[in-house]
Structure 1
């Protein structure tokens, strides 16, 4: 037990950093979108590549760790994670950002499941559930804390330090790890690795995520999307067949004979799905719709992070004392209520509903995650205990992948609809303005360029117009025409040709007419610009309302899914864990 108390802090720090990077960049997505000038769809792959590779590599890397030595393998994973963090922070385009995130995910997949096994091996039967709850709870807390910490770092330094900050912390952890855990002559476990199963699972996750992310831009009925979905289904069928046939399957099929494991797996997928929705959507809503900076947005998410931490601790203590059906059902019920509040977030800059929704979602997630993490390993011992924990990690990442892909897709579709609604409204407003037809055409053209769904995928595409302007040449042309008309009228009255009007009279007429024309022109321009300003203000307010409704509708999309999630309670055994 003394050895466990020494090792646990080292394992907790590595788990905290790895899982925090699942969500930490959600707060800096708006800044990255501006810096790299890319769409929200494309940028979502910076989140997806981490979770997809993480989910796919967890089990095969866990097997490799058993063969090569778990302590040594975790140490290599820490170095890999530090390298990926440095490259991500140094990226100057999306390609290098994705490469850095991919390397990070390989390191994280080397650390998370193996560190859990190390902790379990050092524990006894009495404190095993506590170790599982502590490590898994830290992972959930890390995902919740990610946006808050990322916002603080980005505000005072830059988005690059959101990733660079990992490097010194990892170096500290590496030194501590080498001091408390042996790297030589550690026990190894010869086993085989189902690489075909790993490849098939990667193809399944990648193709499914690709279809979900690109469905709107490519078209849901396009050959590319249909083909990608077919590939995902075929890969999934092939993966299931392979696991049933393989002598050393990537996932032991016998795990699914346990009702508790099945219920825990489904609960983990759903809980992390709802957790990921808030982590992905709220930072963008705060920064883009409400114009908050990263620090303020991070502080607005803090109640959610703190609630997750408290709820995981309380939930872990209640497991074994209260029926898992009650704990999981109550947790999902809280999530249902939270989505009810989040789907009614007001445009006004007061966040009472946001705080209530965050606290309820954090409490619900904590109760579900704490219960599911313990029940996922409750019926197993030996190698099955290791496998069950690895698969539970996969379930968590699948939930995050689905959250980012699905909610980002729904949000993108809702944002496009919001801009189209504003564009139609804008044309109506412009038609009612008392301005020239040419000015109306110019304003409409600029609105179409700004708000067209094909033109941009930015969240808060600003509606602005510099106003009506008359060039000096045009102004002089108008003055010359007015002077000519006035001279012609004067010459007609005097019965002489225009050419015989005296120069002094010509000069006087030009001075007087120019003053009158410029005054009238300035008054007309000022009036038109005031009308345009009022119209643009109306458009901007309408756009903000539409964008806010887009986020409301996205959260409303999750409401019935959360309601259905309560049904997972029927899977668990009635007997307490």
Structure 2
């Protein structure tokens, strides 16, 4: 049995790693794709949203469909679909093409993720089940954490398209090995009919909920379309529960929720992935847009967080049977809360050590909660209900990520708008104090309003917020000024000599022309230098102010939610344990 697992587990881990990594890998390369497609970040965010929404919507029905077709064949087909979607995403000439390709990718991921977990559990015994769960679920959390880091490294050296292309050779390798360790012929299947009504209701429920949460801020939380989506999700949920209660072979066996361990683990999975998403969603953008880091620089700074997740999951899986699981989950949420406090109060003016410390603390806390919760989610089940438990657990992980995107981006969007308005007011006030012509001040004011438009959803990049090229005076303008000064000086000389200007000697006219030309040019150089110096100082002050306000805008999001991990400790009494190493 152990030798069999040794060969099968790496095949399953590769598929899980790549599928979950593509949930977050695009966050770091969105600016590059935006430039390539010439699309707004608002439109481009659909490349992230489509993957998450389709993935969450199809996990439950695909989990049951795998039992009818055969789990090995289903995962094999899912790998092919995911590879095709990855190839098409990398080749995408337009955003519309990419959205379709990302949808194909997510269908493959929805096939692979839940079914791989069930395959791993079915080939394991009770003694090593915890390690199998920890390995598969842990690699999923690690993949979300690694996504921005890997994306930054790949994009830096090969371009953003290779963020998708890199999946293809790894999937091909997996497909070559797959039939040798997981036979595609003569595998056991279930001939029970598929609950298509439950499948339709679950897809409608999760699609409507995900779309409503993700687009609520952009479309307006009180808009008819968002309210309709939430209403559709609620009605579908009620319909799903009523239907499942009266079916002999439901899509989801509701006996799952009779287990207190499963209930507690479900809530824990939503929460820990919500907190993990808060790091994955905001920090890459924070580093690149506010602190001017390259994608590679941001990736390297995030790496300690990814490594902390990996080691925390490994060690937690080894400790689950030795330490009371309540202590592990309690310590995990406490560390997550501590990390959010550290993120909210960190000062990066003297280096990134505070960020690295907070990231490591968050990674350790996530690993403690996620590994323990994933093990407890399957502890009480076998057979078909085990499949259902994994489908629900995977949906809840995605719900946590979707909630994270929705809530963090909503709070951030409000903070960003406040930061822009504050900087706009500051910059306008500074303009009035400049010693410039009114026309120049109006031009600067228009440029400032254009770059810091509070009605725009785009996050202004501090480094390129206001570009300064310096003012120049055209040759035509110089000649005009010199000509005016020459005629004034000529008139003065003519009056002094009591001569008409026409009778002033040509030699004297040339001397006046040379003198005036030299004097005017010197004055213009001095004036331009003084004006450019003023503008440089003004722009630098505005940039510094914007950086401070955006810094507060990002970090205060963590401050406003730092209480939630500590409140999450209230779910611990839900779990039921007989002893530190026995789970009911």
TM-score of the pair, normalised by structure 1: 0.95
Change in 2 beyond 3 A, CA 1:240/1:98:
same
| CA distance in structure 2 between the partners assigned to 1:250 and 1:43 by the alignment | 34
| CA distance in structure 2 between the partners assigned to 1:126 and 1:331 by the alignment | 24
Aligned residue among 540, 543, 554 for 1:540? 543
Give the conservation status (yes or no) of the 8 Å contact 1:201–1:239.
yes
Give the conservation status (yes or no) of the 8 Å contact 2:44–2:95.
yes
Corresponding residue SS for 1:16: helix
Q: Which runs of 5+ in 2 are unaligned?
A: none
Partner of residue 518, structure 2: 515
| CA distance in structure 2 between the partners assigned to 1:224 and 1:106 by the alignment | 25
Partner of residue 415, structure 1: 416
| CA distance in structure 2 between the partners assigned to 1:98 and 1:345 by the alignment | 37
| CA distance in structure 1 between the partners assigned to 2:245 and 2:454 by the alignment | 46
Give the conservation status (yes or no) of the 8 Å contact 1:411–1:550.
yes
Cα offsets for 1:129-186 (capped at 9, x unmatched): 2222221122222222222222221222111111111111111100110111211121
Aligned residue among 471, 478, 481 for 1:478? 481
Change in 2 beyond 3 A, CA 1:315/1:536:
same
Give the conservation status (yes or no) of the 8 Å contact 1:52–1:202.
no
The CA deviation at 1:203 is 3.5
The CA deviation at 1:349 is 5.5
Corresponding residue SS for 2:293: coil
Partner of residue 110, structure 1: 111
Further displaced range: 507-516 or 202-211: 202-211
Change in 2 beyond 3 A, CA 1:539/1:326:
same
Give the conservation status (yes or no) of the 8 Å contact 1:289–1:548.
yes
Give the conservation status (yes or no) of the 8 Å contact 1:120–1:131.
yes
Corresponding residue SS for 1:189: coil
Corresponding residue SS for 1:105: helix
Partner of residue 569, structure 1: 572
| CA distance in structure 1 between the partners assigned to 2:350 and 2:245 by the alignment | 55
| CA distance in structure 1 between the partners assigned to 2:124 and 2:419 by the alignment | 54
Partner of residue 185, structure 1: 186
Give the conservation status (yes or no) of the 8 Å contact 1:449–1:455.
no
Corresponding residue SS for 2:465: coil
Give the conservation status (yes or no) of the 8 Å contact 1:145–1:302.
yes
Give the conservation status (yes or no) of the 8 Å contact 2:56–2:399.
yes
What's the C-alpha RMSD, in Å, of the aligned pairs?
A: 2.0
Partner of residue 328, structure 1: 329
Partner of residue 32, structure 1: 33
Corresponding residue SS for 1:250: coil
| CA distance in structure 1 between the partners assigned to 2:401 and 2:57 by the alignment | 13
Give the conservation status (yes or no) of the 8 Å contact 2:217–2:406.
no
| CA distance in structure 1 between the partners assigned to 2:494 and 2:210 by the alignment | 80
Runs of 4+ in 1 over 4 A off after TM superposition: none
Give the conservation status (yes or no) of the 8 Å contact 2:152–2:299.
yes
Change in 2 beyond 3 A, CA 1:471/1:216:
farther
Give the conservation status (yes or no) of the 8 Å contact 1:30–1:287.
no
The CA deviation at 1:365 is 0.6
The CA deviation at 1:405 is 2.5
The CA deviation at 1:536 is 0.8
Partner of residue 562, structure 2: 559
Partner of residue 488, structure 1: 491
Change in 2 beyond 3 A, CA 1:118/1:215:
closer
Matches within 5 A, 1:216-227: 216-227=217-228
Partner of residue 253, structure 1: 254
Partner of residue 313, structure 2: 312
Corresponding residue SS for 2:345: coil
Partner of residue 79, structure 1: 80
Residues paired across the two proteins, number:
577
Corresponding residue SS for 2:187: coil
Further displaced range: 433-442 or 410-419: 410-419
| CA distance in structure 1 between the partners assigned to 2:285 and 2:536 by the alignment | 27
Q: Say yes or no: does 1:262 pair with 2:274.
A: no
Matches within 5 A, 1:373-412: 373-412=374-413
| CA distance in structure 2 between the partners assigned to 1:100 and 1:449 by the alignment | 34
Corresponding residue SS for 1:458: coil
The CA deviation at 1:312 is 0.8
Give the conservation status (yes or no) of the 8 Å contact 1:77–1:110.
yes
Change in 2 beyond 3 A, CA 1:159/1:389:
same
Cα offsets for 1:18-65 (capped at 9, x unmatched): 122222222222322333333333333322222221121112112111
Change in 2 beyond 3 A, CA 1:35/1:22:
same
Give the conservation status (yes or no) of the 8 Å contact 2:57–2:207.
no
Give the conservation status (yes or no) of the 8 Å contact 1:41–1:214.
no
Corresponding residue SS for 1:379: coil
Matches within 5 A, 1:362-381: 362-381=363-382
Corresponding residue SS for 1:575: strand
Change in 2 beyond 3 A, CA 1:39/1:213:
farther
Cα offsets for 1:348-405 (capped at 9, x unmatched): 2511111111111111111101111111111222211111111111111111111122
Further displaced range: 485-494 or 154-163: 485-494
Partner of residue 148, structure 2: 147
